[in-house]
């Protein structure tokens, strides 16, 4: 299979009390990406599919903080996920 056709995943974590920016906690392609996505779904972690963003982040190493150039887009995604999470809590 061509590398460009492989599914890729990057998982981020952000603790505003400890981290200056979100950091990479998992990444991979192919079967590893599928496992990351599967585990995220099992844990109820929201998933945002954005191939362009994953492509920009896939060169980062584990525990690397995202670069400043990505702060705005990642903040928008985190904000969207937070809003969805709050709406889901209200429904329960």
Segment 33-48, tens digit of pLDDT: 999 999 999 998 888 8
Residue 39: per-residue pLDDT: 96
Is 1 domain-assigned? no
Q: What is the mean pLDDT of the chain?
A: 88
Is 76 domain-assigned? yes
User: pLDDT band at 78, cuts 50/70/90?
Assistant: confident
The DSSP letter of residue 63 is: T
Residue 79: per-residue pLDDT: 87
Whole-angstrom Cα Rg for the chain: 14
Helix (H, G, I), strand (E, B) or coil at 71: helix
Is 45 domain-assigned? yes
User: pLDDT band at 5, cuts 50/70/90?
Assistant: low
Mean pLDDT of 13-42: 94
Range of the domain at 20: 8-90
Is 2 domain-assigned? no
Q: Do 59 and 70 touch, CB atoms closer than 8 A?
A: no
Which tokens is 79 given?
Answer: 């904000």
Structurally, the chain folds into a number of domains equal to 1
User: What is the CATH classification number for the domain harbouring 18?
Assistant: 3.40.1690.10
């Amino acid at each position: 299979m061509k590398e460009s056709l492989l599914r890729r995943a990057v998982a981020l974590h952000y603790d505003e009390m400890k981290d200056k920016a979100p950091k990479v906690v998992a990444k991979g392609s192919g079967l590893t990406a599928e496992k990351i996505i599967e585990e995220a779904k099992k844990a109820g972690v929201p998933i945002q599919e954005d191939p362009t963003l994953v492509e920009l982040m896939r060169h980062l190493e584990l525990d690397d903080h995202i670069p400043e150039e990505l702060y705005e887009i990642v903040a928008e995604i985190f904000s969207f996920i937070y809003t969805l999470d709050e709406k889901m809590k209200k429904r329960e």
